[in-house]
Amino acid sequence: MKTEKQYFAEGRSIQTYMDEMSTLKQESMKVYQEFQLPNDDFIDLLKQQSLRFLIITEDWCGDAMMINPVIRKVAEAADIETRVTLRDTDTDLIDRHLTNGGRAIPIVLILNEEGEWIGKWGPRAPEVQEIVNELRSELPSKEDPAFEEKQKEMIATLQERYVNEPKLWSYVYESFKNTLSQLIK
């Protein structure tokens, strides 16, 4: 069984991953280009750490399309090497980091200088999860013939919000910042 350190070593850089995206690339690049890091002391604090980020993701994922660019901005500003591994290529890693029993992505694994796993974040900021839960609550039951169409509409609505609502990007930043702050006290 490969370690998180081995997955990190084999992973692509976040920049290469985003450059090579085949799905949701334009939307992801929009978030990356428009998201501005807050003017706080957090990035300076991160620069003093010896961390690495390993993101488990897929380019078809709407959450990843919004979240990965935010994580990339944090990593670049703090000089933290960030690599990407694809969830569906090798499910062993994601199966060690399930969310409520599911393979939800993206998951950001936080590694120390030695490449050992010390924490994780994801797949969503709590405020974004509330939005998702609210939209899901409006869906008909899975047995309803309209379910599939309504679910597609919900996903389209979410993706549009993910691309066009900077407040959601801020939720991701603050949630990720809170997770990291707990690890680097």
pLDDT in tens, 7-33: 999 999 999 999 999 999 999 999 999
pLDDT in tens, 61-116: 999 999 999 999 999 999 999 999 999 999 999 999 999 999 999 999 999 999 99
Instruction: Find out whether the peptide bond into 106 is cis, omega within 30 degrees of 0.
Output: yes
**pLDDT of res. 184:** 87
Band of pLDDT at residue 143, cut at 50, 70 and 90: very high
Strands 82-86 and 12-13: antiparallel
Looking at the predicted structure, is the pLDDT value of residue 185 above 80?
no
Tokens of residue 63, six digits: 């959450």
pLDDT in tens, 157-166: 999 999 999 9
DSSP symbols for the chain: ---HHHHHHHSEEHHHHHHT-SSSHHHHHHHHHH----SSSHHHHHHTS--EEEEEE-TT-HHHHHHHHHHHHHHHHTT--EEEEETTT-HHHHHTS-BTTB--S-EEEEE-TTS-EEEEE-S--HHHHHHHHHHHHTSPPTTSTTHHHHHHHHHHHHHHHHHH-HHHHHHHHHHHHHHHHHH--
Tokens of residue 44, six digits: 């300076």
CA angle 78, 177, 18 (to 5 degrees): 60
CA angle 37, 99, 4 (to 5 degrees): 75
Strands 107-111 and 117-121: antiparallel
pLDDT in tens, 53-63: 999 999 999 99
**pLDDT of res. 173:** 98
Residue 1: half-sphere exposure toward Cβ, Cα within 13 Å: 8
Q: State the residue for tokens 């500003």.
A: 77
**Contact predicate 180/122, CB 8 Å:** no
Give all domains of the chain, ordered by start, each with its CATH number: 4-125+166-183 (3.40.30.10)
Interatomic CA distance for residues 180 and 185, integer angstroms: 9
**pLDDT of res. 169:** 98
Interatomic CA distance for residues 164 and 72, integer angstroms: 18
